Structure 1
Amino acid sequence: MNDKFYTLSEEKQLKIVNAAMEVFGKNEYKKASTDLIAVKAGISKGLLFYYFHNKKELYLYVYNYLMEIMKEKVADTHFLEITDFFELLKYAGVGKVKMLEKNPYIMDFAMRAFYSEQEAVSDALKIMNTAQEEVLYQMYFSNINTDKFQSGIEPFKIYKMLRWMGDGYIHDIQMSGKTFNIDAMLEEFNSWMDMMRYLVYKKEYQVEQTEST
C-alpha cells in the first residue's frame, strides 16, 4: 500500500474503506468491482490503485481495519477487568453484535471474510487468522482466573472448541440456505458456554456468577 493513503484526511480514508467494505460485502471477491468501489468512494479508479496496488491489497487492508476496530470496540476498560473466562467471552460476544449491527456493510463483509472458502483471498485470511489467534488469546485472556477450571483443563483449548462450534454453526446456516441471524447465534453460543461451564469448572464455580461492572 502507498503511504500516501495515510496523508488523506480521516474522512476520505473512511470513505474509501466503507465503499470497499460495502462492495466486497455484497459480492464474492471475484465479482466485486473496483470500478464501483472507486465511484462510491468518490475517486477515480486510477487513484484507488495509486493508494492500493491491487484489489487483493485493498481487501486485506479493509480486513485488517475491521479486525482493529473490533479489538478496539470490544476490548474496553470493563473487558480488561473481567476475570471469569465465560463472562469474558459473553461480554465480547455482545460487544461484537452491537458493533456489527450498527453498520450492515460491516456485517456483510465480516461474514464473507471470516467464512469464505474458495475466494482468491481465503488462504491469505486463514494464515493471518491462525497467526493472530494465540497472540490475541494471550493478550485478552491473561487476567482470567484459571483456578476455577478443573485440574488438567486448558482454557485455550476450550476457547478453540467454542470457536470451532461457532464456525460449524455458520457453516450449517450457509449450507441450509437459511438467513443468518447474529442474535440467534449469540443465544446459541451462550447456551454452549453454559453447558461447557459445567463440564470444565470446579463444582463451586459451575453456577454463573456475573461480575459487577
Structure 2
Amino acid sequence: MEKKPPLGLKTTDRHEKFESLPQERQDALLNAAVETFGLNDYKNASTEDIARRAGISKGLLFFYFKNKSDLYLYLMERVMDKVEHFVIDEGYYAIDDFFELFRYAAYSKRDVFEKFPYLLEYSVRAFYPQHKDIKHTMNDWMQHQIDFMFERYFSHVNFDKFREDVDPKYVVNMMVWIADGYLHQQLSLNKRIDMDELIHEFDRWCDMLKTYAYKEEYR
C-alpha cells in the first residue's frame, strides 16, 4: 500500500520502523490486519490472529506498533490511501458533473472492494466505532471528512447546474446520511453488505438528489 500524506488521524513518524520494511512485508501485515478487523469488531479482533496471518510474532507486531489502537488508526490511514489511489485518476478529474462524479467514485470503489477481500467489511466497521480506545478519534475524524472531501475532490465540479438555493456541500452531507442509514441498517440486521445491491441503491439516491438539487434544465 503506497504511503501518502496523512488524512487527519493521530498517526505519527513513530512508524518509521514499519515503513522501512520491504513493501511485501508491509502489505502482508496490513492485509492481515484488514482481514482480522473486517471479520471482527475492534474488541474481538485479536492481535495474535493478525500476527499469525502476517507470519510474524506478536512481539514483532508490537515492535512496529505501540498497541492495538495504534495499528488500527494507522491502518485506516493506509486504507484511505489505497482507495484514493484506485479512485482518483485521470478519468475522475475529466468529469465535472457532481452526480456523475459521485457515480464514478462509487463504481471505482466497488472494483477496489472486489480486489481486496474484507476491505469493505473493515471500512464499514470503522464507520461505527464502539470501543473507547478508538471511538473518540474515529468520530472526530469522520466529522471532518465532509469538508476535507469537498475541498479536495470537488474543486473542479461545475456547480452552475445547482439551484441557487441549494448548497452542494449540503447535498454531500445528505448522501452521507443516506448511505450511513443504509449501512447501519444492514449491520443491525447482521447482513453482509452486497456491493451490487449497494451500488443499485446508490444510483437511486443520485437520481433522487439530482432532481432536488439541479436546475430543471440539468435534471
Q: TM-score, normalised by structure 2?
A: 0.89
Aligned to 1:209: none
The structure 2 residue matched to 1:190, chosen from 198, 203, 212, is: 203
Question: What is the CA deviation profile of residues 14-33 of structure 1, one whole-angstrom value per residue up to 9, with x for unaligned ones?
Answer: 01101111111111211111
Correspondences of 1:62-141 after superposition (within 5 Å): 62-118=75-131, 120-141=133-154
Counterpart-to-counterpart distance in 2, 1:52 and 1:179: 30
Change (3 A) 1:76 1:119: farther
The structure 2 residue matched to 1:28, chosen from 31, 35, 41, is: 41
The structure 2 residue matched to 1:11, chosen from 24, 28, 39, is: 24
1:132: how far off?
Answer: 3.2
By percentage of residues, which structure has more helix? 1
Aligned to 2:169: 156
The answer to whether 1:175 aligns with 2:179 is: no
1:179: how far off?
Answer: 3.5
Q: Any conservation in 1 of the 2:43–2:131 contact (CA below 8 Å)?
A: no
Counterpart-to-counterpart distance in 2, 1:31 and 1:98: 28
Counterpart-to-counterpart distance in 1, 2:38 and 2:216: 45
Identity of aligned residues (%): 40
Q: Any conservation in 2 of the 1:29–1:119 contact (CA below 8 Å)?
A: no
Q: Any conservation in 2 of the 1:34–1:45 contact (CA below 8 Å)?
A: yes
SS at match of 1:78: helix
SS at match of 1:104: coil
Aligned to 1:210: none
Letter in 2 for 1:27: N
Counterpart-to-counterpart distance in 2, 1:166 and 1:15: 31
Change (3 A) 1:2 1:78: closer
SS at match of 1:115: coil
Letter in 2 for 1:109: Y
**Structure 1: 5+ residue runs without aligned partners?**
207-213
1:193: how far off?
Answer: 1.1
Letter in 2 for 1:135: F
1:86: how far off?
Answer: 0.3
Counterpart-to-counterpart distance in 1, 2:189 and 2:50: 31
Counterpart-to-counterpart distance in 1, 2:191 and 2:59: 39
The structure 2 residue matched to 1:49, chosen from 21, 40, 62, is: 62
Question: Mean alpha-carbon deviation: is it higher for 78-87 or for 29-38?
Answer: 29-38
Question: Mean alpha-carbon deviation: is it higher for 41-50 or for 178-187?
Answer: 178-187
1:51: how far off?
Answer: 0.5
Q: TM-score, normalised by structure 1?
A: 0.91
Q: Any conservation in 2 of the 1:6–1:13 contact (CA below 8 Å)?
A: yes
Question: Mean alpha-carbon deviation: is it higher for 122-131 or for 67-76?
Answer: 122-131
1:122: how far off?
Answer: 2.4
